[in-house]
Every structure is written in structure tokens, then in C-alpha cells.
Amino acid sequence: MDADPRQYENIEVNENDIHKIVLSYLVHNCFKDTVESFIACTGVKQPIDHLEDMEKRKRIFHFALDGNASKAIELTEEFAPGLLEENKDLHFNLLSLRFVELVCSRKIDEALGFAQSKFTPFGKEQKYVEKLEDFMALLAYEEPEKYPMFHLLSSEHRQHVADSLNRAILAHRKLPSHSAMERLIQQITVVKQCLNQESGKDGHQQPFSLMDFLKS
């Protein structure tokens, strides 16, 4: 007999499954110390090589997040050979972080030399040309924070690039690029949106809010 969805609170959830979901989130985000404490407390199993990979990913992630794109690229090429050649958008974004770092440090000559040597291969594709024009315009500003495209200098942009790099490395290593917790939230969001659309056909649709759902 199928379970009655209205009685979901009565459905048992395997505690080990919950542990695995939490662990996948911690491993995905490179919380190494927390992972080790969590494993010690719960007894859940985790392959040793995953822990070793996590330490390497953590270093790469934080170099990208801190704006040290050159070191992030160097370690990525050592840890995941061929990854950046296969993912030009990601490679371009990492190089852009380095260029922005040089400009903001007012190392203009070095920034120009870097752009000429590193961005030249991207100059044949229009989507990169437009982005390069935005970055080169940054050189005209004495105060980069007043640049109209200031989001390119923001910590949020670095976070986005670092997250993208982390996912790409995981995929390159034949590991899930999203944690189980992220997938569950994505699935819940899609299901609730579909249900809201169905119930809204009578004109009483309420917009779905993930935050409200998590509080319920």
C-alpha cells in the first residue's frame, strides 16, 4: 500500500540516512575538522581517500576565495590535470580574479602583461571579448570600487567562482558535484512549485517560499 502523503510525519526515517546526508554536505564544503568529529560521534563510514581529496580541495577553494587565483590554478592543474582545459569558462573566471587582484593592487603594468599573456587565447570568442572589455575598462578607474561592474570585484563573485571550481573538481574526480542535502532541497523546491501551480489553477495560487517551508 502506498503511503498517505498527508501522514508524512508518521514515516520513519533511517538515522543512518540522515547521517549520510549531513556528512555529504560537510565533505562537499571541505569542513574537514567537522567531518572528523562527526565521523567519530556517529560511526558513519567515509573512505580515507575522500578525506585526503577534501584537504586538497579545501586549499584550492580558499585560494580562489581569497583572490589568489594563480595559486588556485596551479594546485588545480596538479590535482585535476586537464580540468581547466576542458572548462574554459571556469578557467577564464579564475584568470579574471587574478587580473582584478592586480588592478586593485594598482599593479597596472603587471596587470596588462598578465592580460596579454593569459587572455589572448580567449580573444577569438565573442562572449569572452565582451567580458574582457569590461575588465579592461577597470584600468580607467583610480578607485576600482566606483566601477559600474563592481560586482566583479566583490566577495560574492569570488565565492561563486570558488564554488564553481569546487564542483568542477568533484565532477572531475567522479564524485557528486552537489551534496545530497542540496539535491533534496532542489527536489523539494521543484515539487512544491509544481504543486502550487496545480493548486493555483483555481486562481488561489500562493507563491512558494523555501524559507517558509523549512519553518513549517
pTM confidence score: 0.77
Asked if residue 174 has pLDDT above 80, the reply is yes
Which amino acid, residue 131?
A: K
Return the CA Rg of the chain.
Answer: 22
Cα(88)–Cα(128) distance, integer angstroms: 10
Task: Please tell me the distance from the alpha carbon of residue 4 to that of residue 31, in angstroms, as a whole number.
Answer: 38
User: Cα torsion at 209, 13, 54, 177 (round to 10°)?
Assistant: -50
Q: Higher-confidence residue: 121 or 213?
A: 121
Residue 83's CB is within 10 A of a number of other CB atoms, namely 18
Report the pLDDT value the prediction gives residue 83, as an integer from 0 to 100.
Answer: 96
Residue 91 cell numbers, joined = 578557467
Cα–Cα distance for residue pair 78/126, rounded to 1 Å = 30
Q: Tell whether the model's pLDDT for residue 53 goes beyond 50.
A: yes
The pLDDT of residue 52 is 73
Q: How confident is the model at residue 200 (pLDDT cuts 50, 70, 90)?
A: low
Q: Residue 75 and residue 59: Cα distance in Å, rounded?
A: 8
Of 111-125, 134-148, 181-195, minimum mean pLDDT range: 134-148
Position 172 pLDDT exceeds 80: yes
Query: How far is 78 from 111, CA to CA, in rounded Å?
Result: 25
Can you tell me whether residue 132 is helix, strand or coil?
helix
